[in-house]
Amino acid sequence: MTRNVFVVGLNDYNAERLKRLRGVEDVAFHQLLTPAQVYETQEFDIPAMLAEAEAQLDAFDGSIDAIVGYIDFPVSTMLPLLSAKYDTPNASLESLLKCEHKFWSRQVMNEVVPEHTPNFTAFDPFDEEALSKIGDAGLRFPFFVKPIKSSGSRLGFRIDSPEDFDYATEKLRAEIGSISEPFNAILEKADLPEDIRTIEGHYCMAERVIGGRQCTVEGYVHDGEVTCYGTVDSIRYPQVLSFFYYLYPSTLPQKVQEQMWEISRKVMEHIGYDNAGFNIEYFWDEVDNQIWLLEINTRIAQSHCDLFEMVDGVSHQQVTVDLGLGRKPDMPHREGAHNVAAEFFYRVFFSDATASRVPSRAEIEVAAEQVESTRISSYLQKGMTLSQLPEQDAYSFAVASIWMGAKTRSKLLWNYEQVMKRLNYEFDDILD
């Protein structure tokens, strides 16, 4: 009997990749909502999206065996609601929000791993006294601010001075509504403690600046058992907060990785998160041998799918699909064609600009052919402004991503340089 798996925001590339997973010979994958509706936009009408998804599911003439996704907000927060209505396995909405509501998440972390949780407080960016209240909470410059619900590094700022805080709050006031309004629509459906209910979607977090070598632990919970299966390094450009590339497997000492995995198990058990994948971002301060927990994401990292397929043999969407079907994930280890793999980000460091030239599809194909198993996604079209790109950090714009594998890290970096020589972007109206 065919089992039907509905994937929110499924695109053509991922539809093909899902067919390469283990144990899907009897599985039919169906798109639930389009990519344009869930991530090729910065406007999220969650009630309308849920209503359309439910109408599509109600009209389906067959069994609904799993409802899954691999995309951050708003998809991650919609999945528990859809799964609860159609009786498919997933984490509860409240356990998911203990991860995704950044203030609630920090409270939970502080309960179980306080030694790995930086000092933090919530603040209202529309409050003229916010900066003094942050100081009253014990935070001093420098600190970091971000929305209580963010995706990627959007609207995250390092604050070194009152002027930095003024700049950040100006940006937050102007743009946070695109996050806060849809997130509030989710919060209204959850059973929240009163102290969390008062911290609404427009609130932000201020946290002690933490640093070191950054990485992401990928894992899942199945029937209450927490399993971690990989660590991916997050390498930043020198002297800036923007990511240069993600590298798998991690180069961190094995003992440090094992400590992070144990922290992950302890936190996810404490939260009560179950029957879903997750990834947790960490810093390791090598000088002080201190591990800091940065944040928890309630999904696999889509950016890491190619990396796991290249190194381990299949995309870790294996985890998402298996859990969605109620079975323990059958995730292989080191069965891929490459020893190491990475996603590189081709970035420009302008305040804004207009793309006057972008690589053609043929040029991208030629560039990818320079190295076996290379995949390139260009995010710009001629005439677009950089500010039209969704989900960008506050310091740069990623105009393309390049996924590739190799035998060694040095060979991987050399291959990236060869591919980049083939990609030519030009810009007009540049704002530095």
The Cα 346–Cα 254 span in angstroms is 30
The Cα 41–Cα 178 span in angstroms is 10
> CB-based contacts of 279: which residues, under 8 Å, 6+ apart?
216, 217, 218, 219, 296, 297, 299, 300, 301, 304
- Has domain 119-209 been given CATH number 3.30.1490.20? yes
- Give the pLDDT score at 372: 84
Segment 151-177 mean pLDDT: 91
Residue 151 pLDDT greater than 80, yes or no: no
Stretch(es) of the chain classified as CATH 3.90.1170: 340-431
Local confidence band at 41 (pLDDT 50, 70, 90 cut-offs) = confident
Tokens 């009253």: give the residue. 136
- What is 3-91's CATH number? 3.40.50
Residue 152 pLDDT greater than 70, yes or no: no
Residue 42 pLDDT greater than 80, yes or no: no
Structure token pair of residue 121: 């407080």
Check if the beta carbon of residue 103 is closer than 8 Å to that of residue 199.
Answer: yes
Stretch(es) of the chain classified as CATH 3.40.50: 3-91
Segment 351-363 mean pLDDT: 95
Q: Would strands 204-208 and 120-123 be described as parallel, antiparallel, or unpaired?
A: antiparallel
- What is 340-431's CATH number? 3.90.1170
Local confidence band at 367 (pLDDT 50, 70, 90 cut-offs) = very high
**pTM > 0.85:** yes
- Give the pLDDT score at 390: 83
The Cα 383–Cα 393 span in angstroms is 21
Tell me the pLDDT tens digit for each residue of 115-139. Answer: 999 999 999 999 999 999 999 999 9
Stretch(es) of the chain classified as CATH 3.30.1490.20: 119-209
Residue 253 pLDDT greater than 90, yes or no: yes
